[in-house]
Amino acid sequence: MASNPLSMLGDLNKLRQQAKQMQQDLAAEEIRIEEGDIVVVITGAQEITHFSVQGITSDAAVKALNKAIKQSQEMAAKKLQNMTGGLGGLMGSGAN
């Protein structure tokens, strides 16, 4: 029996909405790590919100760390997309 394509689109939309909600939930969570005189606060969505060494903070350091994290996420997403034969693009488009 053939599946209803409109039903599949509805399921995809539901999955995208769930993924977006999960991203929002993760962004609201924070993890604080203190190692000696270094403090890092990162969200569950892997965005650094605070970085300090000996109490000194640096917006430039936070920007650089977040840029590195984003590039590593993009690299992982490309590799995953290659493994799934491009099917991951259906889920990922417009999710940001």
Distance CA 91, CA 96 (A): 11
Whole-number CA gyration radius for the chain = 18
Please give the pLDDT value at position 90.
52
Could you say which DSSP state residue 2 is in? Answer: P
Please give the pLDDT value at position 24.
86
Domain extents for the chain? 5-92
Selected residue with higher pLDDT from 79 and 1: 79
Per-residue pLDDT tens digits for 6-62: 666 677 788 888 888 888 888 889 999 999 999 999 998 899 999 999 999 999 999
Q: State yes or no: pLDDT of 3 exceeds 70.
A: no
Please give the pLDDT value at position 53.
96
Distance CA 31, CA 87 (A): 32
Per-residue pLDDT tens digits for 53-76: 999 999 999 999 999 999 999 999
pTM reported for the whole predicted model? 0.63
Antiparallel, parallel or unpaired: β 56-57 and 38-43: unpaired
